[in-house]
Amino acid sequence: MRLAVFDLDGTITRHDTLAPYVCGFLLRHPWRMPRALGVVPALLGFGLGICGRGTLKAALMRSALGRVRRQDLERWTECFVSRLLARGTFADARESIAAHARAGDHLVLMSASPDLYVPAIARALGFGESICTGVRWRGERLDGRLATSNRRGEEKVRCLRQLRERLPGEASAYGNSLSDIAHLALVEHGVLVNGGARARRAARLAGIDCVRWR
């Protein structure tokens, strides 16, 4: 059995998923919109280089979704995933996933996006498992702070190495950003999907294939 690891945002999906997930929930619960302003200090800190992406992500979820009941988020997740997969994915990505499935490969969805919805997307697309950023709960209400490291960059490298120890053999990996190059370079078949100019240059230097998916 071979290993096939896919990134989510910009690789399978046409856009980022966290902002649409949060905004979609707020549009359905407009009285919560003022709470989202709580993300502003973290947004400024990120812009100034004072805090990282994980801090910003946690601040967004904590301010906009904090204390929402688990069952309410689960209902929204079901709706969000259904709409995302109907209109928001690359057809070429879906075909690549299907091809790996037909070959009997072990499919892993590895994303920096949160476990509020990544596991649901993984199940819907036929992945065997998912690795993503964990979010804290307080009982049945969302806390919003991160329960794991933000699964990006070097954290993806660490997770991929653990996967390969558990599942030795040939592996493929797909990503779309400059931060994905490090883990794409660790597999026999690394693929950069729809990468920007800097990412494509880095990919070529690392022997990673560059493709355009639609």
Residue at 75: amino acid letter: R
Cβ proximity of 1 and 167 under 8 Å: yes
Q: Name the nearest CA neighbour of 130 among 139, 143, 121, 141.
A: 121
CA 149 to chain centre: 13
% of the chain residues with pLDDT over 70: 100
Cβ proximity of 186 and 157 under 8 Å: yes
**Single pTM value for the model:** 0.96
Q: pLDDT averaged over the chain?
A: 97
In this predicted model, what pLDDT tens digit does every residue of 69-110 receive, in sequence order? 999 999 999 999 999 999 999 999 999 999 999 999 999 999
In this predicted model, what pLDDT tens digit does every residue of 166-193 receive, in sequence order? 999 999 999 999 999 999 999 999 999 9
- pLDDT level of residue 210 (50, 70, 90 thresholds): very high
Residue 14 CA to residue 8 CA, distance in Å, equals 9
Q: How does DSSP assign 122-167, residue by residue? A: HHHHT-SEEEEE-EEEETTEEEEEESS---STHHHHHHHHHHHHHS
171 contacts: CB under 8 Å, gap ≥ 6: 2, 3, 4, 5, 163, 164, 186, 187, 188, 189
In this predicted model, what pLDDT tens digit does every residue of 34-73 receive, in sequence order? 999 999 999 999 999 999 999 999 999 999 999 999 999 9
In this predicted model, what pLDDT tens digit does every residue of 122-162 receive, in sequence order? 999 999 999 999 999 999 999 999 999 999 999 999 999 99
Q: What is the pLDDT of residue 158?
A: 98
Instruction: Sketch the domain layout of the chain as residue ranges.
Output: 3-211
Q: Which residue is listed with tokens 């950069």?
A: 192
Which CATH superfamily hosts domain 3-211? HAD superfamily/HAD-like (3.40.50.1000)
- pLDDT level of residue 1 (50, 70, 90 thresholds): confident
- Locate 114 and state its tokens: 């949160």
